Every structure is written in structure tokens, then in C-alpha cells.
Amino acid sequence: MKEFELINRYFKGRGITRRDVNLGIGDDCALVTVPQNCQLAVTTDTLVSGVHFFDDISPRALGHRALAVNLSDLAAMGAEPTWVSVGLTLPNISQQWIEEFTEGMHEIAEYFNVQIIGGDTTQGPLTITICAKGTVPEGKALRRGGAKVGDWVFVTGTLGDAGLAIESRKQGLTIEPEHLKYINNRFDYPTPRVAAGQVLRGLASSAIDVSDGLLADLEHILDMSQVSASINIENIPTSDAMRSSLSFEEQLPYILSYGDDYELLFTVSDDNKSMLDLKLRQYGVEASCIGQIKSGEGQIELLHHGEKFNFEQQGFEHFAKEQV
Ligand code: ADP
Ligand code: MG
């Protein structure tokens, strides 16, 4: 199939049409209108075959995932996702594959009211680069650098599920079929916490999405905010699937250092905490308080029921992305 045929068939005229898109797919550029008093939030993430996903991933899941990881970055800034461009590098792949892949992408785009406004299509080893754009009221974006001593540390949803899915495939862990289904779904179809990010605007002092693992991503907040943190590991939220598959000790590497969950990690001042609790409940966002910001220079103290806890970070060789 020629490039223009592929674009016409799978992208042009598909998906939603937003009123703020003045010109969509078909010209040299797209044209959009950014609402007054808003800033444009822009992010790019690339997924490379063999590096960020297994070759046997379902094309539908890949389409979903490629967009989801980008929307997760917008969520972490408190931005409302609006427009995306899609860079596709494809080897010789069947039409069936492209059909399912674009279906997965259009599904999540529609769910979040995002319009695909352009992209680029080339031949080569399977690679997907998405540039996602969103809007955020001026000065209201959530940054990594705002955590203050005394702030509470929160995380949405549950941690470790995606990692457990990866390792169960690699190591052949025995996991109950219903739990296996759940964790596989968590890896294949991650949910960007878009609503949560918007609830946090004006309340959270810092935020980041958990793509590389709780400790690694918390470190980014601590470095940018020039503070330390103590984390109560018994309060880190886990799924039924995680708790019934692994002992507490076995869970630790997954919940502390495995990534790919795309939950939001954020901090909130003591003054804002009760308002935040209220709003989270109002919007049905699950979040758990897992620790507190302390003074210092980026150290993370782990506590287990108040006692100091030593955790030797285990290196998972799951993907090569950390080595880039
Ligand atoms: P140009 O050569 O000017 O870059 P292209 O032929 O690459 O134009 O693209 C034609 C139109 O199709 C452009 O509007 C571009 O944004 C869009 N497009 C190309 N590839 C994709 C894609 N993978 N997804 C969505 N839109 C695409
Ligand atoms: Mg082009």
C-alpha cells in the first residue's frame, strides 16, 4: 500500500473532529486554535519494537499503548489532551495489522476526545513516535519541582501490575487465570490518569507519571524539588492480582522499581490535603498516601510499619530503555 493510501484509509476522516482544529490531516501542517488564557503542553514518546514492546504484542494493544503513554505525560502536567500527531515507521506489515493497530489508537483517542491531526509514515523497523498536545490554564501546570518539606506523597491506582505481567510472560510464573487476565490488560492497555491530573491542578505541589518505577520517578521529583522523602511501603497500593500472586517480599521489586504502570505520583501540602481527598472522592479517583516529603538532598527512606527497611534495588533486564 502506498503511503497516501494508508493515510486516507486509516487516518483521514477517521476519529473525532474537534472544533478547535482549523485544518486536520491533508496539508503540510495542521492548524489548531489554543484557547485564550491557556498554555500548550507538548510531549513526545517513541516506542521501538524489541525495546519497548515484544514483537508478539497485539497490534490493537500497541496502538492503544503508544497513545496512552503520551497522554499519561499530559495527565502528569494536569493538561487536557487535545491533539496528536503520529509518526509511523512500518516494516512490510499486513493490512490486517494496520487495521487493528489504528483501531486501538482511534479507540483511546475518541475516549479522551483527542483528534489525530497529522503525522508521518515511513518504511523501516517498527517504530511509533507520537507527539501529543494538550492545553492547561496559564500557570496551572503540575511540575516536578514543587514538592515542599512536610508535603504528603500520593500515588493513584495500584503499582507493579504491568511489571508482573511482563515477568509472568518471561519467567512463566504461575498466576490464576483471572488475575493473569487483569495484569496483562494493565500492561497492554494502560490507562492514562487524565481526570486525576486535572483534579490535581491548583492542589498538588508536584506530579509525575510512574513510567520507570516508583523509586526512580520519585527521585525525579526529589531532585527537581531539592528535598528527600520517607515512604511507608505497607501503604503502597497493590491489586488483588498482585497480593494473591506474590508474597510481600516478592512484591517489592515490582511495586518499588518496575515501571510501565502509568499511575500518577504527586505531592500535596498539609493545607490542601483535605480538599484534595474531597475532590478525589468527588471525581472517583483512587489515590493512596504513601509517605511524606522531608528535608535533604534526594534521599528516599523506606519504612515498614515505622521501622527502617533496606531494599536493594534489583535490576530487571526487562527492556533496554533505561540504557539509552
Ligand atoms: P509531507 O510530505 O508534506 O510531510 P505527507 O505526505 O507526509 O506530507 O503527509 C500528508 C498528510 O498526511 C499530512 O497532513 C500529514 O500530517 C498526514 N500524515 C502522514 N502520516 C500520518 C500518520 N501516520 N498519521 C496521521 N497523519 C499522517
Ligand atoms: Mg511527511
| Ordered DSSP codes for 158-193 | -SSHHHHHHHHHHH-----HHHHHHHHHHHHS----
Closest atom of ligand 1 to 30 CA is 14
Give the per-residue pLDDT at 319.
47
Q: Give the global pTM.
A: 0.93
Give the per-residue pLDDT at 1.
77
Spatial CB neighbours of 84, under 8 Å, sequence gap ≥ 6: 67, 70, 109, 114, 115, 116, 117, 130, 131, 132, 133
Most ligand 1 atoms within 8 A of CB, residue of 2, 6, 7, 133 to mutate: 7
If you take atom 2 of ligand 1, which residue's CA is the nearest one? Answer: 28
C-alpha cell at 7: 493515510
What are the structural domains of the chain?
3-137 (3.30.1330.10), 152-308 (3.90.650.10)
Cα(38) to centroid of ligand 1, in Å?
27
Give the per-residue pLDDT at 315.
44
Strand partners, 231: 291, 302
Give the per-residue pLDDT at 220.
98
Give the per-residue pLDDT at 324.
39
Dihedrals phi, psi of 165, to nearest 5 degrees: -65, -45
Cell numbers 526512580 label which residue?
A: 216
Cα(119) to centroid of ligand 2, in Å?
7
The annotation status of 191 as a binding-site residue, yes or no, is: no
Per-residue pLDDT for the chain (324 aa), expressed as one digit of tens each?
A: 788 899 999 999 899 999 999 999 999 999 999 999 999 999 999 999 998 887 889 999 999 999 999 999 999 999 999 999 999 999 988 999 999 999 999 999 999 999 999 999 999 999 999 999 999 999 999 999 999 999 999 999 999 999 999 999 889 899 999 999 999 999 999 999 999 999 999 999 999 999 999 999 999 999 999 999 999 999 999 999 999 999 999 999 999 999 999 999 999 999 999 999 999 999 999 999 999 999 999 999 999 999 999 998 654 444 444 443
C-alpha cell at 125: 523497523
Rg of the chain's alpha carbons, rounded to an integer?
20
Task: Give the span between the Cα atoms of 143 and 310, in whole angstroms.
Answer: 29
Ligand 1 first shell, C-beta below 6 A: 7, 11, 25-28, 86, 88, 116, 118-121
Chain center to CA of 235: 21
If you take atom 9 of ligand 1, which residue's CA is the nearest one? Answer: 120
Give the per-residue pLDDT at 181.
97
The annotation status of 43 as a binding-site residue, yes or no, is: yes
Give the per-residue pLDDT at 54.
79
Give the per-residue pLDDT at 53.
86
Cα(11) to centroid of ligand 1, in Å?
9
The annotation status of 122 as a binding-site residue, yes or no, is: no
Dihedrals phi, psi of 162, to nearest 5 degrees: -65, -40
Nearest in space to 107 (alpha carbons), one of 189, 41, 31:
189
The annotation status of 144 as a binding-site residue, yes or no, is: yes
